[in-house]
Every structure is written in C-alpha cells, then in structure tokens.
Amino acid sequence: MDPGEPMADAFGGPGLLHRVLTHLPVGMGPEAIAIDTRRRRAFVACARSDAVTALDLERHTTIWQAPVGREPIPIIFDAPTERLFTADARSDTVTVLDARTGERLTQIPVGAYPAGLGYHPGLRRIFCGDTAASTISVVDVDRLMPVRTIPAELGAGSIAIDLRRGRGYCANFMAASLTVFDAAALRPLGRIGVGRGPCKVVADPATDQLYVANSLENMVMRISLADGRIRDRIPVERAPVGLTTSGDGRHVYVCNRGAGTISVLDARDGSETHRIAVGRGPGDCAVDPVTGRLLVSNAGSGTLTVVDRPWLAGPERPATHPAVGRRLPDFALPDLHTGRIRTTREWAEKKYVINFFASW
C-alpha cells in the first residue's frame, strides 16, 4: 500500500475515504500511545524493546528512545509535570521519564505483572491494573510513590476513569468482568460482567458511554456510564485489543489485532461505517486532538501508522440499498450438480455468498 494513496473504505461507501500518510518505525512490539499536544510529540511504549520512543508529530521523525522496565505496555503523559509513566509488566514497576529528554527519573514498585494504567489528573493519581495480583495499585503522580491497592479480579489490566462521577473501571481479562471503584475513596463499588477477554476499556465523556474491547469474542460492548447498563454488543474483526474515541462523540476506533485493521464505528448507533488497513497486529490507537489524525501502533510491524482523518469530506454515512438490514426471504432452488432442492434454511445463522447469474 502506498502511504500517500487514498484508500476506499471496505464497504465501498462514497465519501468514506481515508489517506494513510506514513508508517513510522518505532521499535519492537509497540503498544500504547500518549500525546503531548503542546510540544507536538507522540510517545509509544515498545514492549519488546523495553523502551519508549518519542516522535515529532509534525516532522514524523524520532526525537529520542529511552529504556524503561521490561515489557512496557501502557503509557500515560502528565502534562503539568511533563512526565511519562509506563507500566512495565515483567518488572512489576511503573517507570517515570522526563518527557522532554527521556531521562529516567525513578521506578515505582507495584503489583505483579502491571498491564494497564488509568489517570485522574484532578486527583493527581495513576491507577495500575496488576494482572497477576488481581489488584489495582494507586500511585501519587506528584510524590511518585504508591499509596494504596484496591482489590480487583484475575487479569486486572486496562483502566478507564469517569471524571464526571469520579469512578474507575478496571478490565479483568480472565474474569471477563469490570471492577468498578471509587477513584477518591479508593474502594471497590461493584462488578459488571462483560464478554470474554476484555483488553481495553475507554470512558467517553462526549457520549457518556463506556467502551470495552472483548478480544476473545470479536466484540465491543457499550455501557452507560450513568447507570452501568449494557447498551449493546458490536461485532468487529478478529481479536480487538485496543480502542479509542474521537473526542467529539462521533467515532470509535477499534484495533483488530488479528486482522490488521481498524474498525471505525459510528458512536450514535454503534454501526461499523468502514475499516482501515494498517500494519500487522495493531495493538492500540490514539487521536491527535490538534490535527484529528489517527495514530495506530502495530505490534507485529514495529511501526506507528498515521492516518489522515478517516472521515474525509463527504456524506457522513454511505448510501445503502433499502434491502440492507432486512431479513433474507426464504427460497428454494435446485442444486446444479445433484438436482437436489436446496433451501436458505440449510445455512441459517451462517455466513455465505449468493451469486445470482444468468446463463444464455
């Protein structure tokens, strides 16, 4: 694929074109992405390089690469202090870097196999999902020290914070659940059962929804932040492990690790409008608030894909035939090879292609 070539969406809808601008080498096994909008930098946690790579978002060049602990997966940028925090899964630490220079400031001990981070800027706290310990470690951002742990469930990882209500949500991969906790009082509030293998959870204030990527079910769940009720389950491609929202309440981007694509969802009704082909094994993504560009980390390619606004000018939704979404009518036709009558009921609940053709 030519990085500068406009690509039509997977469903062929008019107006839903996108342009992949470039694929930037960043290191081995890139996962989470953080953005410094003021200095125009992106920071990528490279799990298999045990490092963080800083990129210039305007020039698309590498600024520095800094070593951290072993297998950094998530990364958080704290704008007031200009510090970066990575959870180093195989070191059981949170590494703190100076975002300007990449200098390592300290390493903070947390629970076993930390694989997710959540951030509450008002409370000056970072919450760390400790996968093997089934806990959430709480870190003071200013004092750079752990302050408490909150019980979670097996496979605790990705964490989202609802800033409006002061609640946190920790995705428990092996328990197929979310632990709900009070971010100020540091105590658990309850549990929400979700699909198998929840890898990423994101709170979207624009829509007041919580999104959960269930990697083992090829599905994204939408949950109301107001009452905790599950709104719907949205099918996507293989192994969704990362996601983000556009910030304006319009779009959700899902990283399908097993397919090498991004599913673009309409946040209004949850429908998938189109897909974007990126690198191998996309693990996470982020939207640059300044340009609206989508940044995608490709764990299998060692690259960061930069996509220029996946919703370029044109109709917001592709035109569809009136029959789309309606139930297929039953019919029966003879098999050309055996003569046996075949009916649509034989393939109920299965995916298949019907090719109607004329023979003269």
Q: CB neighbours of 261 closer than 8 A, spacing ≥ 6?
A: 10, 237, 275, 276, 277, 278, 282
DSSP state of 133: T
Residue 298: inside a domain, yes or no? yes
138 CB-near residues (< 8 Å, 6+ apart): 125, 126, 127, 128, 146, 147, 148, 149, 150, 186
Give the Cα-Cα-Cα angle 352, 358, 360 (nearest 5 degrees): 150
- pLDDT computed for residue 342 by the predictor: 77
Six-digit token string for 342? 């075949």
Does residue 121 lie within any of the structural domains? yes
The rounded distance, in Å, linking the Cα atoms of 229 and 301 is 37
In a domain, 333, yes or no: no
The predicted pLDDT at position 343 comes to: 75
Of the candidate ranges 148-162, 197-211, 254-268, 329-343, the one whose mean pLDDT is the lowest? 329-343
Domain-located, residue 87 = yes
Does some domain include residue 125?
yes
In a domain, 233, yes or no: yes
Where residue 67 sits, what CATH number does that domain have? Answer: 2.130.10.10
* Edge-to-edge order in the sheet of strand 93-98: 72-78, 83-88, 93-98, 104-109
pTM of the predicted structure, to 2 decimals: 0.83
Could you tell me the two tokens for 62?
């590498």
Q: What is the model's pLDDT at position 322?
A: 52
Report the alpha-carbon distance of residue 131 to residue 73 in Å, rounded. Answer: 12
The answer to whether residue 316 sits within a structural domain is no
Tallying the residues shown for the chain, one arrives at: 360
Q: Is residue 360 part of a domain?
A: no
- Interval 282-300 mean pLDDT: 95
Q: Which pLDDT band holds residue 351 (cuts at 50, 70, 90)?
A: low
Q: Residue 211: which domain range?
A: 6-308
Task: Tell which residue, 39, 137, 40, has the closest CA to residue 85.
Answer: 137
Q: pLDDT category, 10, cuts 50, 70, 90?
A: very low
Angle, vertex CA 263, rays to CA 272 and CA 168, nearest 5: 95
**Cβ contact 127:183 at 8 Å:** yes
Number of domains the chain is built from: 1
Torsion sign over Cα 327, 332, 333, 334: positive
